[in-house]
Amino acid sequence: MSLPHMPRRVRRTVRCLTTAAVSTAALLAAVPAANASSPTDAAESAQAGATGRSSVSRSFTLPEGTTRATLSLGASKAEVVKAPQDTITCVLTVYSPWFTFVGGTPRIATQAETTCSSWVTSLSIAVELTRNGATASVGDNQNNFSSSISVDTAAPCAEGSWVAQADGDIIYPPLFWPPTGDISVQSRALPISICRN
């Protein structure tokens, strides 16, 4: 299921802003061809925990020996360093929908979060709450130069089968491969047969 929401547009805008000084082709040319064609650099795993959470993770690697330029604004010099292999792993988690009261009104709510092992250039996240396959509520969020992000959403309670779907868009720092990641995960269903005040 694909969500027609803001994060994909934001991702494209941020990508244009972050690569304005250095073209994407120049960044990708710095990654050794062997690593650029290796499908094993991105590892995916999915799980459904007993706590009512479903998660998926992706790992992205800065290859060992990659030439990375650094610039110090306090001094007018730039230096080139050889980086050790570095990996950033990001985990997208969506919580199974739950029954709650907000201001005395019965509601169905969910939350999603992305956490990364280090900062990334941009994180976007969206969560969609569906009832019997139809969208009931959508929430989204975006930030830059952070290692985590979260979003929640809620809808009025109604009988049916409730499911949460989360999508995360990640833009990694320059030279990491692959440079971007799109991950999604779906929760287990919550059957609701009665809503009461």
Tokens encoding 179: 């440079």
State the Cα–Cα distance between residues 149 and 154, nearest whole angstrom: 18
pLDDT digits (tens, 9 = 90+) for 86-129: 888 899 999 999 999 888 899 999 999 999 998 999 999 999 99
CATH label, 7-36+49-74+88-192, candidates 3.30.70, 2.40.160, 2.30.230, 2.60.40: 2.60.40
pLDDT of residue 60: 66
pLDDT digits (tens, 9 = 90+) for 43-61: 333 333 344 777 777 776 7
The full set of domain ranges for the chain reads 7-36+49-74+88-192
- Determine the distance from the C-alpha atom of residue 163 to the mean position of all C-alpha atoms in its chain, rounded to a whole number: 19
CA distances from 36 to 107, 133, 135, 173 (A): 47, 38, 38, 15
Tokens encoding 194: 């009665």
Phi, psi torsion values for 28, nearest 5 degrees: -70, -30
Task: Give the total residue count for the chain.
Answer: 197
Would you say 134 and 170 are in contact if contact means Cβ atoms under 8 Å apart?
A: no
Q: Is residue 178 reached through a cis peptide bond, with omega within 30 degrees of 0 on the bond before it?
A: yes
Instruction: Find, among 153, 92, 94, 164, the residue nearest to 124 by Cα.
Output: 92
pLDDT of residue 69: 47
CA distances from 6 to 12, 102, 103, 158, 182 (A): 10, 26, 28, 27, 14
Helices assigned H by DSSP within the chain:
7-18, 24-29, 33-36
pLDDT of residue 169: 95
The answer, yes or no, to whether residue 147 has pLDDT greater than 70, is: yes
